[in-house]
Chains A and B, each alone.
Chain A
Amino acid sequence: MTSETPQPPPGRTSYADRRKQRLDALAAASADEEGGVSLILSAWRRLRRNPVFLVGLAITVTFVVLAIIAPWLAPYDPAARPLLDDIRPQSNPVPGPEPGHPLGGDDKGRDLLSRLLVGSQQTLMVGVLATLFGLLGGVTLGTIAGAFAGWTDSLVMRIVDVMLSIPSLLLAFTIAALASSPSQWTLIIAIATVQVPIFARLLRGSMLGQRASDHVLAARSLGVKPHAIVFRHMLPNALGPVIVQATLVLAVAIIDAAALSFLGLGNPDDRRPEWGQMLGAAQPYLGQEPHLAFYPAACIIVVALGFTLMGESLREALDPKTRR
């Protein structure tokens, strides 16, 4: 796009014409375009070509779809005990694979494949909800601190610092243990609470960066109202790293959920399976029947990997340095 059309010297009309045509064509081309390419759109275009992202996406989508259709996919009710008769407490405490039960059963004679499939529901739900609640709390606190700055910022950040100073698993452990009766909601709240200070700190930092940026100064000098500056300019531009962190935290939340379940702080009702809880139940048989622990552990690792790959490539795509 040439902004000034200079007057070419007379006598060279042919070239001047050509230039004019070129400019017209350019103008026409830009008029045809439906809107411009936003940053999100261009990030998505880069993501779409990134094999790392695609692998992460494939893993994640596979597990989410599996979790959704698990009740129909699972050959058996995860609470039913079709293999109970095969259990011999002395010689064969865990039934091995047999026709109709490709992965065999667990120590209570329940179908392992069904439990793994249905277990993904609980694990993913705990991970996603914990991250969402953590994100919500963190973004609220971070926005308050970043938007008001001054003593509000100091107050919020000191609270956050205190929360951060406690080892995260220990904090989750305490919260889960404080609950009167453990359930998956205790897990979600415990893990979410652990994530809140991380998100808050991250967002606050990037909000303060935005506050000092030229485009926010420009909005101030334009006379834009303070709330519009916070919600239109500071928050959207500050969210990038937080979103990336959220995808990475998802992986951590799933692992944390598994860890707490393993320690018996999750849902005590083992008729509703959950990977971490299955892992915990597999503990006594670790020597003889390692596959009992292997399957849920592998699922946890692969799902966590899927989210991590997505998060890392998202971070790369949103990084302004790699743009274009």
Chain B
Amino acid sequence: MSASAGLDAARGARTAAPGEVLVEVRGLEVHFPIKSGIIFDRTVGHVRAVDGVDLTIHRGETYGLVGESGCGKSTLGKAILNLEPPTAGSVIFDGVDIASLKGEDLRKERKRFQMVFQDPMSSLDPRQTVEALLLEGMRAHGLDTDKAATHARLRELMSAVGLPPAGLKKYPHEFSGGQRQRIGIARALSVGPDLIVADEPVSALDVSIQAQVINLLQDLQDELGLTYLVVAHDLAVVRHISDRIGVMYLGGLVEESEAGELYDVPLHPYTRALMSAVPVPDPTVEDSREQILLTGDLPSPANPPTGCRFHTRCPWRQETRCDTERPELRVVEVAGASSGHRVACHFAEQIAAGEIERHEVEAELVSEGFGGPDGPPTPPEAYIAP
């Protein structure tokens, strides 16, 4: 048995070739009940963390998911792996619906899709050596039968993520942040997955270390033909690492496009605002750039606005449709936009053509939390356009 026999064996089961659809997410919803009550818990509402998402990830590509905190991107990532049980919808992974799997069936399937976490310290059990951490997954999936091969595999994993083999005997707290994240990546690789969901893989790291980890992820993808779903709030990082990007707002995708095109031809008003808000380390660009400042805050996902979720903050909002009809993701005919570019905006074409003027938006107050001294938040008042 060769050093990478475990990995090869896992690969043997693969049927899809590069470029084929690996993951197909349809109508995925994750709703968290809001409970209240003194003796008996009563469900008083739902936080719609993920509210109907369709997306497709092809084998060998990196799909980036961006959005701000509270948009449901992390929950979506976990729901795709069924770490957060979806309320509705399906996740077809290489022909198998992960969302409907349970118990032992799901556990066995897990070796094909792995996760890399944001905080490398809290996601590594502090009481286990690196060796025990890496062995655990292999043992759980019966990949550790040959002792010599397992030993070789551990060393191979360490060198793959750029750590010395001597580190196997150490504990997570003896490593720096960047090295810990490498251990987390090695652990995900240990069972030979096809898909890795990386939830904010670099946001807990220092700037100079971020690039090391980003490059490592890319190298590993080239070497092992991995498919990534990268969830992050940093648009520049996501744009750098991804082939395609989905932009999320309040539990739903508002735009999906090839990574370069998203920056060149952003179609959704929210994407535009998001892009314009990212600071660029270049004073000349910063001084000349036109920013679209959004007013107000993200509405509560427990009580999302009617119609288009973004209409309460949208500078291009129209009198009709926006507050009554939830826009579907659709392909639009706009110069520069390819056929894979989808946007959930009723007026995307008109905005791109400059037919609709941008206007000031009165900020609405959004209170956070539920059941504070004032009770549950009141629904936002009907919006009156100026």
Contacts and interface: CB of A to CB of B under 8 A. Distances in A.
Nearest to A222: B137
Contact size class for A?
20 to 34
A224 interface: yes
A215 B125 contact: yes
B164 A1 contact: yes
A27 B114 CA distance: 30
A31 interface: yes
Contacts of B89: none
A237 B133 CA distance: 15
B148 interface: no
A3 B182 contact: yes
Most chain A CB inside 10 Å of its own CB: which residue of B81, B170, B187 = B170
B125 A233 contact: yes
Interface string A220-260: 11111100100011001100000000000000000000000
B237 interface: no
Contacts of A220: 83
Interface in B94-130: 107-111, 114-115, 117-119, 122-129
Interface string B323-365: 0000000000000000000000000000000000000000000
B187 A223 contact: no
A284 to B, nearest CB: 51
A214 B119 contact: yes
A219 B122 CA distance: 12
A221 B114 contact: yes
Main secondary structure of the interface of A (DSSP, over half): helix
Interface string B137-178: 100110000000000000000000011101101110111001
Interface in A190-209: none
B184 interface: yes
A215 B114 CA distance: 13
Given A1-B179, A223-B141, A223-B191, A27 B166 contact: yes
Interface string A9-30: 0000000000000000001001
A162 interface: no
A4 interface: yes
A132 to B, nearest CB: 23
Contacts of B129: 35-36, 38
B179 A3 contact: yes
Given A214-B119, A218-B184, A237 B127 contact: yes
B203 interface: no
Contact size class for B?
35 or more
Contacts of B137: 222-224
A213 B118 CA distance: 12
Contacts of A4: 162, 212
A3 B213 CA distance: 11
Contacts, number: 111
B136 interface: yes
A43 to B, nearest CB: 11
A37 interface: yes
Given A4-B162, A214-B117, A223 B125 contact: no
A33 interface: yes
Contacts of A69: none
A37 to B, nearest CB: 6
Interface in B185-215: 187-188, 190-191, 212
B171 A38 contact: yes
A290 B339 CA distance: 96
Contacts of A31: 164, 166
B61 to A, nearest CB: 21
B132 to A, nearest CB: 9
A298 interface: no
A213 B125 CA distance: 10
Nearest to B130: A36
Most chain B CB inside 10 Å of its own CB: which residue of A30, A221, A224, A320 = A221
Nearest to A226: B107
A39 B125 contact: no
A58 B383 CA distance: 73
B126 A237 contact: yes
Given A223-B191, A237-B127, A30 B212 contact: no
Given A33-B169, A36-B129, 19 more contacts: A1-B175, A4-B212, A33-B166, A35-B129, A36-B169, A42-B173, A217-B83, A222-B110, A222-B114, A222-B137, A222-B188, A222-B190, A222-B191, A223-B110, A228-B136, A228-B140, A232-B125, A233-B125, A237-B127
Nearest 7 CB-CB pairs, A to B? A36-B170, A223-B110, A214-B123, A3-B162, A222-B137, A30-B166, A214-B122
Interface of B: 78, 81, 83, 107-111, 114-115, 117-119, 122-129, 136-137, 140-141, 162-164, 166-167, 169-171, 173-175, 178-179, 182, 184, 187-188, 190-191, 212
17 contacts: A1-B167, A3-B162, A3-B178, A4-B162, A30-B164, A31-B166, A33-B166, A33-B170, A36-B169, A215-B122, A221-B110, A222-B137, A222-B191, A223-B191, A225-B107, A228-B140, A236-B127
